[in-house]
Amino acid sequence: MNGVIVIDKPRGLTSHDVVDRVRRILKQRSVGHLGTLDPSATGVLPIVVGSLTRLAQFYLHSEKSYEGEMRFGFATDSYDADGEPTGPVAKVNLDSSRLNELAGEFRGVLEQMPPPFSAKKVAGVPAYKLARKKQEVSLKPVRVEIFEFEILGCEEEVARFRARVGSGTYMRSVAHDLGQKLGCGAHLASLRRTRVAEFEVHAAHTVEELEEAAQQGGAEELFVHSRKLLPEFPCVTATDENLTLIRSGRAVNLPEFSRASKVKVFHGQGELIAIATRVAGTLFHPGIVFGGESV
């Protein structure tokens, strides 16, 4: 079984928890995910299965979209609602116009400090492990990019937002930093990821839906069609002659793709057999060859 399924991650599970559940449901050992979500966050978690786990390398720097809420009036040590308040609660009177004005300062490329409770490593140890032990966490700012960040509305001390960001951006840090700019403190109250690369929330399935489909023998019907993966790479259906060469890792001539840097090579309509890279002219080398059928 080789493929990609978009899971709608529930609150309270880690991304690794979801991988473990999918592994048990599908009875597959080789299962991974594309982009970690915090336990308190929900939404799009693409899961790769079988030989298509090798696709992960193409999604390391994917854009992500979020919707959520920020609570103003106090900050927390984890920068979200699961943390402990770092000071007294302040009375706030939010103004959408003012917040959107401040939100504009976060758009573009900026240096962002990761939250102390994060997976960023300090001397080889994840920061959250040190933070839980009340040990000093010395993190360095990371360059990130925020393409869109908009305040959708305010109700009392809570502001709703929508954002589209580059890889490595922490919305928890955005909430914390916005609270500092406003002078009242803030933290991320809730977060839902609506998109990772080409994977969107409307195509996501719950773990329970996957389990039910698997029990009825139709789990693969929930998988993303392999021709929709990596839409930036053109598709080519291999001839019988090229199929043999590609499966053995040998270069093939694809004259119709002289301007492409990489192509997705298929056997028939649904079986992704390789990602080939142009090495010279119209000669492509299958740098990644997938085994078995994909869906």
Distance, in Å, from the CA atom of 113 to the CA atom of 194, rounded to the nearest integer, reads 24
Give the pLDDT of residue 133. 46
Report the alpha-carbon distance of residue 268 to residue 273 in Å, rounded: 10
pLDDT score for 128: 46
pLDDT grade for 122, boundaries at 50, 70 and 90: very low
pLDDT confidence band for 135 (50 / 70 / 90) = low
State the pTM of this model.
0.89
Place of tokens 């990761």: 114
What is the predicted pLDDT for the residue at 127?
Answer: 44
Q: What is the mean pLDDT of residues 171-189?
A: 95
Q: Are 185 and 89 in contact (CB under 8 A)?
A: no
- Alpha carbon 138 to its chain centroid, in Å, reads 25
Domains delineated in the chain: 3-60+198-224 (3.30.2350.10), 64-196 (3.30.2350.10), 228-289 (2.30.130.10)
| Amino acid identity at 60 | L
Q: Region 104-118: what's the mean pLDDT?
A: 88
Per-residue pLDDT at 53 = 95
The answer, yes or no, to whether residue 273 has pLDDT greater than 60, is yes
Answer for the pair 231, 225: CB distance below 8 angstroms, yes or no: no
Alpha carbons 120 and 237: distance in angstroms, whole number? 41
Token code pair at residue 126: 């994840």
Residue 240 annotated among the catalytic residues of the structure = no
End-to-end CA distance of the chain: 8
3-class state of residue 269 by DSSP: coil
Whether the per-residue pLDDT at 281 is higher than 70: the answer is yes
Please give the average per-residue pLDDT across 66-93, as a whole number: 93
- 8, 38, 80, 177: the catalytic one is 38
Question: Residue 131: pLDDT above 60?
Answer: no
Confidence of residue 1 (pLDDT cuts 50, 70, 90): confident
What tokens does 209 get?
């839906």
Q: How far apart are CA 247 and CA 260, in angstroms?
A: 21
| Cα–Cα dist 234/276, whole Å | 10
pLDDT tens profile 88-104: 999 998 999 999 999 99
Closest of 118, 263, 162, 20 to residue 33, by C-alpha: 20
Question: 73-77, 112-116, 279-283: which has the minimum mean pLDDT?
Answer: 112-116
% residues pLDDT > 70 (the chain) = 91
Q: At 137, is the pLDDT very low, low, confident or very high (cuts 50, 70, 90)?
A: low
Summarize the confidence of residues 198-223 as an average pLDDT: 96
Q: What is the DSSP letter of 291?
A: -
User: What is the reported pLDDT for 258?
Assistant: 81
